Structure 1
Amino acid sequence: MTTTSGLTRRALLGAFAATACAAAPTYSQAFGILRGAGDVRRIKMYSGRTGESLDTIYWIEGDYIPEALQEVTLFMRDWRNNKMMNIDARTVDIMAAAHNLLDTSEPYMLLSGYRSPETNAMLRARSSGVARNSLHLKGQAADLRLRSRSVGQMFKAASACKAGGVGRYSSSDFVHMDCGSVRQWGS
């Protein structure tokens, strides 16, 4: 759809999102970024581990859609043992807001969503970079990758949301996003 000025609706929404990101004064810069986007929030992901894909609208006109959030929870389960925990909608909002800022139609590749205590312990034994009390254990974090965007670009987009933790893992080619306190780490 094109406006009379020749700008596409997507370009207008992108400009609004960038403005909202800079102007929203509350915890949830992510919510500010998503405001004005037709009052619809959408998340697109795929998993190389399970072969599954997810493309769902999870929020419309001020309301989360419980069935869609359940789809997100199922999709972001611990793929090693199929254990699940409800995924915090704030994390999904941060992921969606960062994705909107990146202006790509490519879905995220989900590397890690919810982690069971068993999986987290196993990963901690293999790597010093896995937190004992990881927000993955609470369904409040995701490790994501995009082929069409660099780790630096993803890190900047997620950081611009000022709505949670953002970790840059350049050597492993992914970005961590969570709905915990606002903080940044990595290189």
Structure 2
Amino acid sequence: MTKTINTERRKWLTLGALTLGATALLPKKSLAIVSTDRPQSLMIKNINTGESLKFEMFPQQHVDQHQLSDLSYLFRDHRSEKTKTIDPGLFDQLFRLQVLLGVQKPILLISGYRAKETNNSMRGKKRGVAKDSYHTKAQAMDFRIEGVQLSNIRNAMLKIKAGGVGYYAKSNFVHIDTGPVRTW
């Protein structure tokens, strides 16, 4: 009697076992972000205008156009009142940061989008303002989180490895952007 082996079934069983083994290696917080069916929420307060916005988003989805429009207005250059569509990748980074830190506290926005004129003016007055800043491309933000040590924010952002991370302890903020992974 000849026995036939179903190789297709074995492939699927092996793939399933490998997947289970791989998820066992993920940190529990990473699994939570993948497996949750509840939306995550972000509360962002612009410290320059006093405006704030709370929005929800399901993990693994993008900010919808209406939310992005509201967020871009919140992130506007408060000096010139100019607005540019903010890179949604920043909000993905913030959601991941909240999960990593295990907090849902207000994010205090210090600087979001900056018009080129504003950036050039700041370059003339302050050191450390980049000529081609990611702020002028609507791909950066400077912030802190209410009640969370700045060094903890920086360390968590470094673990995420999702763009640039600048640490400004004396000025009390962390810079993140959606450019290449780098740190200063």
Report the TM-score range of the alignment, normalised by the length of the smaller protein.
0.7 to 0.9
| Structure 2 contact 144–150 (Cα < 8 Å) conserved | yes
Is contact 1:113–1:141 with CA below 8 Å preserved after alignment?
yes
The alignment covers a number of residue pairs equal to 158
Contact 2:40/2:95 (CA < 8 Å) preserved in 1?
yes
1:26-75 alpha-carbon deviations (Å, 9 max, x no partner): xxxxxxx8433436343211022111011112456635311111111111
If asked which structure has higher relative contact order (CA below 8 Å, sep 6+), I would say: 1
Q: Do the aligned partners of 2:43 and 2:54 also contact (CA within 8 Å) in 1? A: yes
Q: Against the structure 1 CA distance between its residues 89 and 175, is the aligned structure 2 distance closer, same or farther, given a 3 Å change threshold?
A: same
Within a 5 Å distance, the mapping from 1:42-61 to structure 2 comes to 42-59=41-58
Q: CA deviation at 1:105?
A: 2.5
Q: Which amino acid aligns with 1:95?
A: L
1:37-186 alignment runs, 5 A limit: 37-38=36-37, 40-59=39-58, 62-185=61-184
Q: Deviations over 1:99-135 (max 9, x none)?
A: 2222222211100000001110111111121000000
Q: TM-score, normalised by structure 2?
A: 0.78
Larger radius of gyration: 2
SS in structure 1 opposite 2:35?
Answer: coil
Matches of 1:71 and 1:97, distance apart in 2: 21
Cα distance change, pair 164–71 in 1 and its aligned pair in 2 (3 A): same
Instruction: Give the alignment's TM-score, normalised by structure 1.
Output: 0.77
Distance 1:42 1:75 in 2: 16
Kindly provide the amino acid, as one letter, of the partner of residue 169 in structure 1.
Y
- Which ranges of structure 1 fall in alignment gaps of 5 or more residues? 1-14, 21-32
Q: Render the CA deviation track for 1:113-171: whole Å, top value 9, x for unaligned.
A: 00001110111111121000000001100000123111110001111111111110011
**2 CA distance for matches of 1:161 and 1:92?**
13
- 1:184 and 1:36, CA in 2 relative to 1: closer, same or farther beyond 3 A? farther
Q: Distance in 2 between matches of 1:43 and 1:146?
A: 11
